[in-house]
Structure 1
Amino acid sequence: MPSPSRPATATSATPWWETPLPALLQGLQAGPSGLTQEQAAARLAAQGPNSIAEVSATTPLRLLARQFASPLVLILAAGAFISLALRDWSDALTILVIVASSAGLGFWQEWRASQALERLRTRLALTVQVRRDGQPRRLPAAELVPGDIVELCAGNLVPADGVLLQARDFLVSQAGLTGESFPVEKRPGPPVAGAALAQRHHAVFLGSSVCSGTATILVAATGTGTVMAEIARHLGTADEETEFESGVRRFGELLLKLMFAVVLAVLLVNQALQRPLVESAMFAVALAVGLSPELLPAIVSVSLARGARLLAAQGVLVRRLDAIEDLGGMDTLCTDKTGTLTEGRMTLAFATDADGEASPQVLHAAWLNASFETGIDNPIDAALVQAGSAAGLSTQDWRKIDEIPYDFARRRLTVAAARDADPSTHLLVTKGAFAQVLEACDRVLDGTAERPLDAAARDRLEAQVRRHAERGVRVLAVAWDRRSARPRWEVADETGLLFAGFLGFVDPPKGQAADTVRDLAARGVQVKMVTGDNRHVAAHVAQQVGLDASALLTGETIAGLRDE
């Protein structure tokens, strides 16, 4: 029997996302009313806050110590103390001022950057609606524990990993985790063993955001137990030595060896000439101090600080000054796709008839559907409304009669509208997933003529959808029918429709993406795109921004490669 403070999250060694919901509820000792405040407090004390802790805390002492980690600075500091020992006050003071100025400038720049990041984290701190003692409460997300019941709605950020208990019209953007350009549908359901992150449709994860709908989730993992924390561990295991730091360290070690060699040679020569040992030692040390480049650390710090200010003017926050030199010396840049090379938003690419020809009629019908739709707020309708506005479309002569809302079983939405000049006739416009719209149709629009939707016509339409999918385009279908007016329309009326055409949506590349890739290539920097999106979308975007679309490695291919 697990203790209340350390609930089980899965049966045996099974991950929580593969555990059936009844077993997960039992293992977490949770129920529909949520945890009691005592249970939550005990689990919070045992497991810690729901936050992804940094690998190493940034403290003033740690930052200050890092400024003296360079061998060059240590050589200068040693030279200063030797000068003090020799009572050479002016040299000692000069060296100490230079070392202190260099270290202080680097410390101040990095400390300011760390504080800016901390202020940003504080401003972005989440609060969530959670059930405690059977009552909904607003609590900081950091206080969530496994077993909590959390309510989510459009606009919320998912505060922890968990499984869905209830969901309605629930679309989630998880591009930060999987690279998918478009929101994905999440719904309660049985787990699928071995499913990849993008296929876990019954679960939500920290780092994703709710685009539409509402849901109730059971928190299964928090803080360092989340998928996002695992990614963070891989990315931030420790601050690795930059190439610039390595170069400075090697130069300092070489200089140190040279100084020891000079000191030893001077001592040996002076002893061979039978000169006093103390005077020989003082002369050798003074010579070694003279070899040290007193101004080099200061010059490096000033140059890097100036680079940090220039980058800050471009909206780039530099946390480690040494990283600037590595940035300038890189030869390979790995970049995300969604939101980095692309706009990170859905755009209407085309509106075509059933033959694939551009169709203003299809655009107008789809735009009416999106403009009058009042259900799920989603990026597809936003893209359609924007495209219609750009085309000068207007609802001035139309009025909405009724709406058959979208649901995740039918995967389509129908709007009934009428012209002011012909109120006796209603235009039903249906928009949705291709297969679900097609099953509601018995005819297809061929130019201006209507033809039966036979097997050959279905094959032609399906072939078009496959071709678009291979180019990474998300395709929806549009159908309509004109019928006699009536007060209400229902799901049963979505039959006998006329298949009219297709809508294609893409996440377009940023305007400067291709130029940036070209400029980097001219400077000897290879750009590699890393994305969790499907291979067709990745290849299409790569081609658009000037990358080699044929040089593509899927996750399965990479997993099969040997380290050699």
Structure 2
Amino acid sequence: MPLAGAGLIEYAGIEPSDALKRLNTPSEGLSEEEVLRRLKEQGYNVFAKKSELNIFSELLSHFKSPLIIILLFASGISAYLGEIVDAVIIGTLILVSVALDFFEEHNAGESVKKLISSVKATATVIRGSQKIEIKASDICTGDLIFLSSGNLVPADARIISARDFFVNQSALTGESFPCEKTEAKVPLQNTPLSELTNIIFAGTNVISGSATAVVVRTGGKTEFGGIASSLSRAPEKSEFELGITSFGYLVMRIMLFLVLFIFLFNSIVNNRVLESFMFAVAIAVGLTPELLPMIMSVTMARGSLNMAGKGVIVKKLASIPNFGSMDVLCTDKTGTITEDRIELVRYTDVSGRDSERVLQCAYLNSFHQTGIKNPLDEAVLNFRRTPIDSYRKVDEIPFDFFRKRMSIVVADRKWHLMITKGAPEEVFKCCTAYRCNSRLLPFNMKAHKNATEQYHDLSAQGYRVLAIATKRLSRKKKTYSREDESGLELQGFVAFFDPAKRGIRNVLPQLSEIGVEIKIITGDNELVTEKVCREIGLSVKGILLGEEIDALTDDALRERVERTTIFARFSPDEKNRVIHALKSNGHVVGYMGDGINDAPSLKASDVGISVNNAVDVAKEYADIVLTHKSLRVLNEGILEGRKAFGNTMKYIMIGLSSNFGNMFSAAGAILFLPFLPMLPVQILLNNFIYDFSQVTIPTDSVDYEWTKQPKRWNLRFIKRFMYVFGPISSMFDFLTFFLLFSVLRVSASAFQTGWFIESLATQTLVIHVIRTKKLPFIESTASKFLLISTALCVALGWIIPYTRLGAFFGFEPLPAGIVAMLAAIVVTYLVAIEITKRLFYRKNEF
């Protein structure tokens, strides 16, 4: 997990005194005059704010979509033609759709402010040899800061001196365990962020101990500030948004071609300019999928309500179809698939057998120590209450960095017992014997090698390991020192682990079954991550370390990500490279995380997912938040997303198969008819009734087969669908034209009436065939609301010509024979579409 810049590594690789010299910081701290000069020159310790649009400009920005532009054009044309009802309906649909998007994104835009305010705090600085408390924003580069337990680190800084100093930086690096920080320099090499043991980072917090540090970076130059800066940039378009945009451009191109063709041909050949213009714009309105924004909004809102009932809160409606299209889920480890809670999991002797003696000694040590109360001690004490009433505390030898161990001395009836706990390699140095199966054996080279192998074996399994050793003493002394930590008996080891969340092992097979692959991208090390994968049953195809990614080109990375499951020691920028590589390979990528360092990845992914115990910033930048600790709802949410996407695609495919076909027919009819095939006002009425019949699509069910695998925008499939089913609709329209005009030789008004009811019936009823791959009405039936709305609208359209309203629109009542003929054409069309559908899906999959 290499750092973004080299500055921190340079300071980590020099002595504290040299760091002070490089920053021109005296040992007593900066003077107030020097602080003012540096603040004026370098700026305050605040994150750069993104340029914000005023609320009016922000609202206008939502009208840039090609689909919205088409709808605005259609609304304007409708108003120009005097079709005020159509104009108002289309305009209302636009405003509702835009308003939903505007309010969602406006609220989400407040997240950067929350990120900034999350580190607004005070800090203790040393100036003129005095400790004073100031606003964190007034800290400058070179300031000496003093930190103790509970403090928030205000800037990136180099440790000058430290005592038992532990920092929780899991939100930034993904590490489960608190990290000890010291003043000792680290090697100058490509050191991961998590291993800079003498550097502290803005936004992390102090667990225990105290330290003095010199500020190296402030504001937007800090690691935390870099994340805030990336969050302030414009969000990337998701897969669903890109698909909608592409579809909008496709509709725009088709509409422009047909409108220009109809207008120019009719004007030149028939010399009817005004009539041709009105007919052409009516065709444009008919081609426009004006209900699509409403269909999408209602479908996604309905899906959102269903998901909320299952513990999935949807913050951005457009993320629902992305959720369903997702085929790769990248997830952070700590706090997302693990509990972010350290637990004691093993207590063994040197041979690897479980040992109650080791557990009792560890409990006595953790219970009686008064120094650093870290999560490891809490894990020991929470594991099991152990009887220790027969012991009383005598003394304590605190932990320090150089020894990497601590000891307590307790007394029983006969002896004093020293119990030492610490880093195995340091405890080994103090041991002269070890206990195995109640036997005391010499800790010689062979025993040392065996103990080291046992320690390394536990570490390789992803455990954090401490060694436990004891020493029996006479009762002569009351105080003890480091010198007494010698001649110890090695008892064994205690091992700790951040366990996986409950239920996640059951979720993975479900996700795999519905076509979602899991990849883990974490700042933690690969051993711990691989152990978690074993715990949850996730098969590991390959491992990539952060230090390796810089050597990979974008093309090489795109190839590597396909055969990698674990991405370990990764920085936020490196996580984003992986997400972009997966997206460029054609995947719809979800990212699940809970920390500050996950926010950029949540934003870069097609759908960002967070969990109930995430930091506020992660929740704000997530599109979806899981409120239940169980991740079982993740599977249910994906299926809900696929249902929403399925209903959206129904409306699009119906329009392409029949509505577009009818408009193509109109363009073809002007080549041989001496009159318009349908009056402009009749086209608008047809379009209005048809649209009303489709309003109930969001209530429709989706076949199980559709939800089994991820579905995504596929413009190539959409075009193929249009090229196959659109002409079939036109063929039946031309059959209608031939029978009415050439065989029956009806009047222009009767012709227009006949095509009106035929086209309305075909484009309205075809939903029942197109909505499923199965046999309609027998193997798969639409919702009752969709059945009712389509039946009522077809009935209305066929009745209108026989009413006074029909005369107003220029219709003429048709004889029963012609109506029967048109009904037969409609039934034959639906049968033809069913046969074609079955043939089409043999060679084409969405």
Compute the TM-score of the two structures, normalised by the length of structure 2. Answer: 0.61
Corresponding position of 2:401:
408
User: Can you give the 5+ residue segments of structure 1 that lack an aligned partner in the other structure?
Assistant: 1-8
User: Can you give the 5+ residue segments of structure 2 that lack an aligned partner in the other structure?
Assistant: 557-846
2: CA distance, partners of 1:512 / 1:63: 42
More helix by share: 2
Q: Amino acid of the residue matched to residue 383 of structure 1?
A: A
Corresponding position of 1:89:
84
Q: Amino acid of the residue matched to residue 534 of structure 1?
A: N
The answer to whether residue 41 in structure 2 is matched with residue 50 in structure 1 is no
Q: Amino acid of the residue matched to residue 417 of structure 2?
A: L
Q: Is 2:158–2:199's contact at 8 Å kept on the other side of the alignment?
A: yes
2: CA distance, partners of 1:557 / 1:89: 63
Corresponding position of 1:449:
439
Corresponding position of 1:281:
277
Q: How does 1:133-212 map to 2 (within 5 A)?
A: 134-196=129-191, 197-212=193-208
The structure 2 residue matched to 1:356, chosen from 352, 357, 360, is: 352
Corresponding position of 2:293:
297
Q: Report the alpha carbon displacement of residue 503 of structure 1 after superposing the two structures with TM.
A: 0.9
The answer to whether residue 98 in structure 2 is matched with residue 108 in structure 1 is no
1: CA distance, partners of 2:18 / 2:419: 45
- For 1:357-379, what per-residue CA distance to the aligned partner results, in whole angstroms no more than 9, with x for missing partners? 11111101110110000001211
1: CA distance, partners of 2:547 / 2:199: 23
The answer to whether residue 431 in structure 2 is matched with residue 464 in structure 1 is no
Corresponding position of 2:422:
432
Q: Amino acid of the residue matched to residue 98 of structure 2?
A: A
Q: How does 1:310-459 map to 2 (within 5 A)?
A: 320-389=316-385, 393-419=386-412, 422=413, 424-459=414-449
Corresponding position of 1:3:
none
Distance 1:533 1:109, change over 3 A: closer
Q: Amino acid of the residue matched to residue 215 of structure 1?
A: A
Distance 1:20 1:356, change over 3 A: closer
Distance 1:252 1:540, change over 3 A: same
The answer to whether residue 470 in structure 2 is matched with residue 474 in structure 1 is no
2: CA distance, partners of 1:26 / 1:177: 29
Distance 1:202 1:55, change over 3 A: same
The secondary structure found in structure 2 opposite 1:366 is helix
The secondary structure found in structure 2 opposite 1:553 is strand
Compute the TM-score of the two structures, normalised by the length of structure 1. Answer: 0.89
Distance 1:113 1:557, change over 3 A: closer
Q: Which moved more, 1:131-140 or 1:106-115?
A: 131-140
- For 1:383-432, what per-residue CA distance to the aligned partner results, in whole angstroms no more than 9, with x for missing partners? 1111132xxx133332211111111111111111123xx1x421211111
- For 1:8-41, what per-residue CA distance to the aligned partner results, in whole angstroms no more than 9, with x for missing partners? x999x98444455445434433233333444434
Q: How does 1:467-506 map to 2 (within 5 A)?
A: 467-485=457-475, 486-506=477-497
Q: Which moved more, 1:224-233 or 1:102-111?
A: 224-233
Corresponding position of 1:259:
255
Q: Report the alpha carbon displacement of residue 53 of structure 1 after superposing the two structures with TM.
A: 3.7
Distance 1:181 1:77, change over 3 A: same
More strand by share: 1
Q: Is 1:63–1:110's contact at 8 Å kept on the other side of the alignment?
A: no
Q: Which moved more, 1:23-32 or 1:373-382?
A: 23-32
2: CA distance, partners of 1:10 / 1:532: 18
Q: Report the alpha carbon displacement of residue 87 of structure 1 after superposing the two structures with TM.
A: 4.0
- For 1:328-362, what per-residue CA distance to the aligned partner results, in whole angstroms no more than 9, with x for missing partners? 21111111112222222221111112221111111
2: CA distance, partners of 1:264 / 1:40: 69
- For 1:209-251, what per-residue CA distance to the aligned partner results, in whole angstroms no more than 9, with x for missing partners? 3222111111110122122344556677542221111111111
Q: Which has the larger radius of gyration?
A: 2
Distance 1:321 1:450, change over 3 A: same
Q: Is 1:10–1:23's contact at 8 Å kept on the other side of the alignment?
A: no
Distance 1:542 1:409, change over 3 A: same
Q: Is 2:48–2:229's contact at 8 Å kept on the other side of the alignment?
A: no
Q: Is 2:116–2:228's contact at 8 Å kept on the other side of the alignment?
A: no
Q: Report the alpha carbon displacement of residue 254 of structure 1 after superposing the two structures with TM.
A: 1.4
The secondary structure found in structure 2 opposite 1:106 is helix
Q: RMSD in angstroms over aligned alpha carbons? A: 2.8
Corresponding position of 1:6:
none
Q: Amino acid of the residue matched to residue 450 of structure 1?
A: L
Q: Is 1:480–1:500's contact at 8 Å kept on the other side of the alignment?
A: yes
Q: How does 1:8-87 map to 2 (within 5 A)?
A: 15-18=10-13, 20-53=15-48, 57=52, 60-61=55-56, 63-87=58-82
1: CA distance, partners of 2:472 / 2:79: 97
Q: Report the alpha carbon displacement of residue 46 of structure 1 after superposing the two structures with TM.
A: 3.9
- For 1:231-275, what per-residue CA distance to the aligned partner results, in whole angstroms no more than 9, with x for missing partners? 556677542221111111111111111221221122133224433
Matched residue count: 549
The structure 1 residue matched to 2:246, chosen from 232, 241, 250, is: 250
The secondary structure found in structure 2 opposite 1:406 is strand
Distance 1:336 1:294, change over 3 A: same
Q: Report the alpha carbon displacement of residue 202 of structure 1 after superposing the two structures with TM.
A: 1.6
2: CA distance, partners of 1:560 / 1:355: 42
Distance 1:138 1:399, change over 3 A: same
Q: Is 2:47–2:116's contact at 8 Å kept on the other side of the alignment?
A: no
